[in-house]
């Protein structure tokens, strides 16, 4: 079987993986979205299903205030003596912490906070019972051995008490990488009698790469791999770019694999808008004890996958009828969830949103429930029952990168008339680019996502969708909008400066890859 990279498409960056028997578990960053740290399960490393989130309670993930691309950075998942641990950083509130569970399909513990600076924390459980916490650091003043051209970043490590999070040794620098900027994403492994330290360098952009060193001690000194970087994707000949922030796993058949983030740019100049995604590559070891990743340190389009028994999970349904007592796993809130964000009980079989005074351009606490766009070619639709009775009230769908970059397909009241409209927010510019008066009654909102554009439309009474406007994907791409996240497709409601009196009921929401929908 060939690896269908990315193995988890859409905005699922900074992957970390662990194995327990024949089961594999993977986590990814979630930034300002709640619940936090999506958790996936696989039996063959190819087919993955989301089984939950590690952070499902506000006590685990306070996001009352945050900035775009704040919140949760770079989790690591590990398993030791029957317990799963997930360690991460809340850059908005609290710093580094970890949670644990004996059942990854259930709830995780309250946070155990660790007084160690930096981001990208990782745990290693050594054979002698010692537990090491490795993270990045910013060093000031600069020690003499740090290259002044790349002065501030490095990797630090401490020994901790895993029961309390208290230090058993002071954090101290252990490696500064090979000279690339922003050495980060450290993971410590022991293979045989040798310790390996794997990091990312170059920044999470087009020059991102993975480097590695080894030592007889977890504290170094470190011998860099002679063929560093062990993974990179330089040049624009490849559809996969920015590969880095990797984690190793040994499969239950003895083979080795690496998961990493990457992105899929297109057009020229290149840009991407789905965010950084999760990729898989094979790893082999040479006679000198060094790893070789993929095809000479590259990930190709058609690489042979694991020779493990295939376990294909049932695909999530295209339509969500909102007929369950809780929202399904793909849905997220923007920031801290509030009691009035949405209801599945006000009208059984529909999701009710009631807008507050916050606008989309304000970000949280605007009423917003969204899911990641995972495919370049996708079809989105929602049936909205919303009869605004005051100017300023609106509800609809948004193609969302951040508060300054989003496209909105909405129903509103203007001068006493109900209208459907398309609004574009691109940096400091906001414009309603199309609008039409519509009669009372439910309206189906449609978004056709393609590689380089979105097409926005609507229909009444099950008629064929009528196109209102298009929007270029470029203007909500990472290169234009900035940040670390990817596009969300969200339902929202707002009173635009005052609390709304009119509930918006979403009767259903469709999301599917175009090829997938054409076969159903």
Q: Kindly calculate the radius of gyration of the chain based on its CA atoms and give it in whole angstroms.
A: 24
- Residue 291 half-sphere exposure toward CB, CA atoms < 13 A: 29
The answer to whether residues 299 and 7 touch, using CB atoms and an 8 Å cutoff, is no
The residues, any chain, with a CB within 8 Å of residue 350's CB and separated by 6 or more, are 322, 344, 385, 505, 506, 507
Max CA distance (Å), the chain: 77
The owner of tokens 């918006």 is 504
Catalytic-residue membership of 393: no
Taking the C-alpha atoms of residue 428 and residue 418, their distance in angstroms, rounded to an integer, is: 27
- The one catalytic residue in 14, 32, 247, 510 is 14
Is the bond preceding residue 6 a cis peptide, omega within 30 degrees? yes
Taking the C-alpha atoms of residue 198 and residue 115, their distance in angstroms, rounded to an integer, is: 23
What CA–CA distances, in Å, run from 271 to 263, 352, 403, 422, 477?
Answer: 9, 36, 19, 23, 6
Number of neighbouring beta carbons within 10 Å of residue 36: 25
The answer to whether residues 394 and 496 touch, using CB atoms and an 8 Å cutoff, is yes
The answer to whether residues 199 and 185 touch, using CB atoms and an 8 Å cutoff, is yes
Catalytic-residue membership of 286: no
Closest by CA to 491, choosing from 504, 478, 502, is 504
Closest by CA to 294, choosing from 286, 285, 303, is 303
Is the bond preceding residue 35 a cis peptide, omega within 30 degrees? yes
Is the bond preceding residue 446 a cis peptide, omega within 30 degrees? no
Q: Which two tokens stand for residue 405?
A: 């970059």
What CA–CA distances, in Å, run from 447 to 421, 431, 458?
Answer: 13, 18, 9
3-class DSSP assignment, residue 360: helix
- The one catalytic residue in 184, 201, 394, 510 is 184
Going through 70-166 in order, the beta strands assigned E by DSSP cover 72-80, 83-90, 95-101, 112-113, 122-125, 131-138, 153-160
The answer to whether residues 263 and 242 touch, using CB atoms and an 8 Å cutoff, is yes
- Residue 296 half-sphere exposure toward CB, CA atoms < 13 A: 1
Number of neighbouring beta carbons within 10 Å of residue 51: 15
**Residue 478 is inside which H or E element, if any?**
helix 478-481
Taking the C-alpha atoms of residue 469 and residue 452, their distance in angstroms, rounded to an integer, is: 14
Residues identified as active-site: 14, 184
């Amino acid at each position: 079987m060939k690896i269908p990279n990315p193995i988890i498409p859409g905005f699922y960056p900074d992957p970390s993986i662990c194995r327990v028997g024949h089961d594999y578990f993977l986590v990814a960053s979630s930034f300002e979205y709640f619940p936090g740290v999506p958790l996936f399960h696989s039996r063959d490393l190819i087919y993955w299903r989301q089984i939950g989130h590690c952070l499902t309670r506000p006590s685990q993930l306070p996001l009352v205030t945050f900035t775009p691309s704040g919140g949760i950075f770079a989790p690591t998942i590990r398993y030791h003596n029957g317990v799963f641990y997930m360690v991460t950083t809340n850059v908005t509130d609290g710093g580094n912490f970890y949670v644990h569970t004996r059942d990854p399909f259930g709830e995780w513990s309250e946070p155990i906070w660790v007084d160690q600076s930096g981001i990208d924390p990782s745990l290693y459980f050594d054979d002698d019972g010692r537990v090491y916490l490795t993270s990045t650091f910013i060093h000031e003043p600069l020690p003499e051995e740090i290259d002044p051209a790349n002065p501030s970043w490095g990797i630090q490590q401490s020994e901790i008490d895993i029961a309390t999070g208290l230090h058993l040794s002071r954090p101290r620098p252990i490696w500064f990488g090979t000279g690339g900027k922003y050495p980060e994403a450290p993971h410590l492994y022991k293979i045989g009698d040798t310790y390996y330290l794997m990091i990312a360098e170059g920044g999470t952009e087009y020059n991102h790469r993975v480097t590695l060193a080894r030592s007889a001690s977890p504290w170094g000194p470190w011998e860099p791999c002679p063929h560093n970087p062990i993974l990179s994707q330089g040049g624009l000949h490849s559809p996969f770019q920015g590969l880095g922030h990797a984690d190793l796993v040994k499969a239950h058949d003895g083979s080795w694999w690496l998961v990493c983030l990457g992105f899929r740019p297109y057009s020229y100049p290149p840009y991407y808008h789905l965010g950084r995604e999760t990729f898989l590559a094979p790893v082999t070891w040479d006679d000198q004890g060094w790893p070789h990743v993929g095809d000479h340190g590259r990930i190709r389009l058609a690489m042979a996958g694991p020779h493990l028994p295939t376990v294909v999970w049932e695909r999530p349904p295209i339509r969500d009828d909102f007929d369950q007592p809780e929202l399904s796993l793909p849905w997220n809130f923007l920031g801290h969830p509030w009691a009035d964000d949405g209801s599945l009980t006000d009208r059984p079989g529909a999701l009710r949103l009631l807008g507050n005074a916050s606008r989309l351009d304000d970000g949280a606490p605007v009423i917003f429930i969204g899911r990641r766009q995972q495919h370049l070619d996708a079809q989105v639709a929602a049936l909205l029952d919303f009869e605004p009775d005051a100017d300023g009230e609106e509800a609809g769908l948004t193609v969302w990168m951040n508060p300054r970059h989003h496209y909105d397909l909405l129903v509103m009241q203007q001068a006493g008339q109900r209208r459907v409209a398309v609004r574009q927010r691109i940096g400091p510019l906001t414009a309603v680019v199309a609008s039409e008066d519509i009669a009372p009654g439910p309206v189906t909102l449609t978004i056709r996502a393609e590689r380089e554009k979105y097409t926005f439309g609507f229909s009444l009474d099950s008629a064929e969708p009528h196109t209102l406007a298009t929007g270029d994907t470029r203007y909500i791409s990472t290169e234009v909008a900035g940040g670390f996240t990817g596009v969300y497709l969200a339902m929202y409601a707002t009173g635009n400066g005052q609390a709304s009196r009119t509930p918006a009921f979403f009767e259903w929401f469709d999301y599917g890859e175009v090829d997938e929908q054409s076969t159903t």
